[in-house]
Structure 1
Amino acid sequence: MSAGRKEIQRARMWRYFLDAATDVIENEGIDNVTIRKIADKAGYTSSTAYNYFQDLSHLKFFAAMRFTKDYIEDLPHYMEKGNNTVEKWLYAWECFCKYSFEQPQIYSVIFINNLGSIPEDLLENYYKVYQNDLIGLPEQIQSIVMEHTLSTRSALYIQDAVEEGFIEQKDIEFIADTTLLLWKGMMTTVMNQRRNYSVDEAIDRTLDYIYESVMRVVSPEKRKEIAFHPVRNNRS
């Protein structure tokens, strides 16, 4: 079999297993996904599934990616609301918080759980098969989506705020890492039911913490240019 036909076969098998995994997630939840259930639904054996996915965590990761399509499509619309890089970055966080706290198990699998492998490699493989997921996204946002580590994604985008005079270069890594830890902390709190937060409360609290953190490093003379407010009473 030629290399081209092998790639076509690989993509076809991926789709079979991911279609099956998606169906299991939709009907039983991602916590109830097993290789056997997926293989049975796809019409293959578990050993065949392992020929294409190293372990269950990888298959769950790829299946979970399908459930982020609405977030990826909505992200540019949120960022358009901002008038400068810091505002756009905050709106990007609002969009991410909205979708991640509505589906915490899905986003935890992608951004928190141990995958036993390099996430960037998994993402690159995913988008080789599902190239259409990126069609229509601005090139800058495509690069952010492809960068798995949230802190790095934040740093990639908010870098422009340095040239705009909002933030100093030395604070980029700090604010990117801090905001990631804030989101992960709230996500873990919600998933472990340590606090009885509603989805909107979790979103608002996380955005408030993120907003306060970034405002600490924004140049005082530029703060008045940031009109973003972290608490939203009516979310779309």
Structure 2
Amino acid sequence: MSNRKIQMGRMWKYFIEATVEIIEEEGIEQVTIRKVADRAGYNSATIYNYFSEASHLIFFASMKLLKPYIDDVANYIKHGDTALDKYILAWECFCKYSFKQPSIFHAVFIMDLGDQPEKLIERYYELYPADLIHIPEELKPALFERSMSKRGQSLLQNAVDEKLIGEEQADDINEMTNLLWQGMLTNILNNRLDYNLEKAEQKTMEYIQKIIRYVSDKTQYNNAMRS
């Protein structure tokens, strides 16, 4: 790696870590380019040499704050016997962490980041490759996808390969579960829940399992009718 790349990586980390500190101390809504520059010990103009907009800084800092979730999801899915079991467990872990940190997960998975947001994820793991240590190979393709739809497709393809569901059923499950999660997260962000976060997680998982059970039963019924 050239000296210039090493220096650029070091500068990126200065600004990302300063942003993380602001988020942890003041909240994600309080992040500004000026605050990050002041905390990192540089002027605002310097930041724009590395980040085109504040949303990218917030994204990278939020990715760093996702590490406890990334580490834990591997522990969750190892308890699943089938690909659908692992898909459900992955959602359980995702709901647990995302509902407790809705702004962080919104910044990573929903916030508008402009063109080619996946390249930001690639850049993040170039800067922090240690975050991928101990992550199962079956999870890595999903982690490099920013799109919730593509992340779900990556995990559900294993269920298709195991012939638990068909391609069309995988698409249905993927779309319905993502819409369900986004709706619940939006309610949490807007303080529109009539119950606590534990109940929100419980209800979301109940609905996800109902969706999967309905689609799986329908698939098995259709297969039986064809045979």
Query: TM-score by structure 1 length?
Result: 0.89
- Residue in 2 that maps onto 1:46: 44
In the TM superposition, what are the counterparts of 1:77-92 in structure 2 within 5 Å? 77-92=75-90
CA deviations over 1:175-228 (Å, ceiling 9, x no partner):
1121111100100011111223311111111111211111111146979xxxxx
1:135-150 counterparts in 2 under 5 A?
Answer: 135-150=133-148
In 1, the alpha carbon distance for the partners of 2:142 and 2:174 equals 13
Counterparts of 1:110 and 1:162 in 2: how far apart (Å)? 27
Query: For residues 71 and 222 of structure 1, do their structure 2 counterparts lie closer, same or farther at Cα, with a shift above 3 Å needed?
Result: farther
Matched, 1:182 2:157: no
- Determine which of 18, 21, 33 is the counterpart of 2:19: 21
Shift of 1:152: 1.1
Contact 1:189-1:195 at 8 Å conserved across structures? yes
- Asked if the contact 1:18/1:62 (under 8 Å) is kept, the reply is yes
The aligned counterpart of 2:225 is none
Matched residues in 1 for 2:219 and 2:39: separation?
59
What amino acid sits opposite 1:215 in the alignment? R
Question: Which residue of 2 is the match for residue 165 of structure 1?
Answer: 163
Q: CA RMSD in A?
A: 1.6
Tell me the secondary structure at the aligned position of residue 139 of structure 1.
Answer: coil
| Structure 2 residue 74 is the aligned partner of structure 1 residue 76 | yes
Counterpart residue number, 1:234 = none
Of the structure 1 ranges 19-28 and 190-199, higher mean CA displacement relative to structure 2 is found in 190-199
Moved more, 6-15 or 115-124: 115-124
Match of 1:33 among 31, 34, 53: 31
Match of 2:213 among 198, 215, 231: 215
Alignment partner of 2:123 out of 114, 122, 125: 125
Whichever residue aligns with residue 110 of structure 2, its letter is I
* Distance across 1 between alignment mates of 2:121 and 2:217: 36
Does the CA contact (< 8 Å) of 2:34 and 2:43 recur in 1? yes
State the 1:143 CA deviation.
1.3
Are residues 1:9 and 2:3 paired? no
Normalising by structure 2, we get a TM-score of: 0.93
Counterpart amino acid of residue 156 in structure 2: I
Residue among 110, 114, 117 paired with 1:116 = 114
Distance 1:86 1:103 in 2: 26
Q: How many Å separate the matches in 1 of 2:54 and 2:195?
A: 30
Question: Once the two structures are aligned, what percentage of the paired residues are identical?
Answer: 43
Matched residue SS, 1:165: coil
- Residue 162 of structure 1: CA displacement? 2.0
Residues 157 and 63 of structure 1: CA distance in aligned 2, closer, same or farther (over 3 Å): same
SS at the partner of 2:163?
Answer: coil
Deviation at 1:141, TM superposition (A): 0.9
Render the CA deviation track for 1:63-117: whole Å, top value 9, x for unaligned. Answer: 0011110111011110011111101100000000000001011101111111123
